[in-house]
Amino acid sequence: MSPDALRPGKLPGSMLAVLLRDVPAGDPSVRLGPVVGEDAAAIEVPADTLVVATDPITLTGRAAGRYAVLINANDVAVCGAVPRWFQVTMLLPLGTEHAQVQALFDEITTTLTELDATLVGGHTEVTPAVKQPVLVGQMLGLVGAGRWVASSGAAQGDLLVQIGSAPVEGTAVLTSERGSALTGLPSDLLEAALAAADDPGISVVDAALHAAQLGATAMHDPTEGGLAAGLHELADASGVALRLSHSTVAWFAPGLAVCHELRVDPWATLASGCVLATFPPDRADAAVSDLQAAGQRAVVLGEVVAGAGVHVDGVALPVPERDELARLLEDG
């Protein structure tokens, strides 16, 4: 083991104090933020609705700090809430060095700065329970009272809109983890696939908040299990069926190529980077136009009908048993 490796257990207080010293603290509503020795944060919340989401990053250890912020910010934003405060539990494997922890903190603080959100607390620990960094993030955000959006709000007759492309996150992770198996693809496509987490990106905060302002009746953020799982989750939450066509999906072209090369199903591949939103039929086309004018990729994907399940070109779309990325990594 490297002489610079950290010992099992909590990060040394002196080290953590240095890491936290550089964390921006620009939000005056945070009355008690991340400080060594404190076990909780204190935030003054005005008379709005507090929206809270939590998700772990487990499928990859690369850029885990950035992923932890963005994935949780997305979950808050699809409720129509502005991400404000972030906490993270950081579990690190034996052999982790100071520089690696610093890199994770840098990823977290840089990404939070991009979102104008604030780190308010968390927990850090080196433990033999994990083989790669595992970050469990929690994002909190605010939305005006009575203005939040749920996945359960889709109604029969609404039109289903996809904002952003799929699969974006899965493409980036597949390429970084299995790049050696993609030698049959051109270099420019591989570069686009590897950079997918930043371009087009996996953050849907701006897209989701814009859709909420345009009157979305329901929103959902497809993640693990891909677009297929996201569609089923939206349909199940709202007690409706979704009907769409393969040709209407806004596919991420490099992602399709990577999935084809690795023989994985793009429908069931990690899909952070897009939003599923429903709109009343008289608002959907205008919403798509407004989103496109703001630089978002947006298409009318299908319609909400009575019944249950998801049908693509008249054929039932199966619920993925697990994400294709998880299957591929587990199978080696």
Q: What percent of the chain has pLDDT over 70?
A: 97
Average pLDDT over residues 57-79: 90
Give the model's confidence band at 287: pLDDT under 50 very low, under 70 low, under 90 confident, else very high. Answer: very high
Q: Per mean pLDDT, which range of 28-37, 67-76, 192-201 is the poorest? A: 28-37
- In three-state secondary structure terms, 226 is helix
Sheet holding 298-305, edge to edge: 218-220, 274-279, 159-164, 298-305, 241-244, 309-312, 315-316
Q: What is the mean pLDDT of residues 185-197?
A: 94
Burial label for 158, CB within 10 Å (0-12, 13-18, 19+), is buried
Query: Tokens representing 166?
Result: 């799929």
| Lowest-pLDDT range of 128-142, 277-291, 318-332 | 318-332
Domains annotated for the chain, with CATH where assigned, are 9-143 (3.30.1330.10), 151-331 (3.90.650.10)
Provide the pLDDT confidence category of residue 40 given band limits of 50, 70 and 90.
low
Place of tokens 């939070």: 112
DSSP string, 21-35: HTS----TTEEE-S-
Range list of H helices, 245-323: 253-262, 284-293
pLDDT at 329 over 90: no
